[in-house]
Amino acid sequence: MKPKTSNCPICQGSSLKPIDEHEPVYWQCADCEYLFLEPSDRLQKASEKSRYEEHNNDLGDPKYLQYLEKTWQKISQDVPPGGLVVDYGCGPTKGLEAVLKGQGFQVVSYDPIFYPTSVEILNHKVDAIYCSEAIEHMYNPIVEIECWLRLLKPGGMISLRTAFHSGENGFRSWWYKDDPTHIGFFNEQTFQWLANRYSLEVCHMHSPYASFRKKAQ
């Protein structure tokens, strides 16, 4: 087996164990339970982008729109009328903008590949971060989470959709890791670690949804 990566991308812990002896290599952190692909086994950038372009996210598909709406409903009651929402990791479709068109919300779509416009100008102005099926793709999720906290107003919401892993048992047959762009996996323990680290209020936590409120200062 190749030498292990040095630290957990979430908590920076060094107590990492391999899932098994097979390739590609996945590591699990003993401290926060984040489970991630060995960085040297990631796709090259060009291959990663090509994979994203294969996703069949069709705004004309009612099932796709229903999927977006279901995630949005997890936080919609906590976003004020006219509130500013960032769809973080929107992919090529700007799907949330389409779902919320005409409902009075302001939506900014951001994606590091397809819509890489800087969102830092929105610091402390955002009511909600919507991140659906994107956090599992992130190389440095802590960097992104800290960006979200800078963007959010006190009391602002983070709403995530990502499948929770159940640990080592059954991982190799878990369908969610079969997408080669899915490189990092969370569970309740990981999200609770993040909530404790950043003083977030946990509002919802049940796979595949997790939502948090940035506490008022």
This prediction has a pTM of 0.92
Tokens at 87, concatenated:
């769809």
- The CATH number of residue 206's host domain is 3.40.50.150
Question: Which tens digits make up the pLDDT trace of 42-69?
Answer: 988 888 888 877 766 778 788 888 888 8
User: Domain range holding 119?
Assistant: 16-214
Instruction: Report how far residue 171's alpha carbon sits from residue 165's, in angstroms, rounded to the nearest whole number.
Output: 8
Q: Is 67 within a domain?
A: yes
Tokens at 13, concatenated:
């812990």
Q: Determine contact, residues 88/108, Cβ cutoff 8 Å.
A: no
Helix then strand then coil, in percent of the chain rounded to 5, is 30, 25, 45
Q: Is 5 within a domain?
A: no
Question: Which tens digits make up the pLDDT trace of 172-182?
Answer: 999 999 999 99
Q: Is 134 within a domain?
A: yes
Q: Is 9 within a domain?
A: no
Instruction: Report how far residue 125's alpha carbon sits from residue 127's, in angstroms, rounded to the nearest whole number.
Output: 7
Q: Is 132 within a domain?
A: yes
Work out how many domains the chain is built from and give that number.
Answer: 1
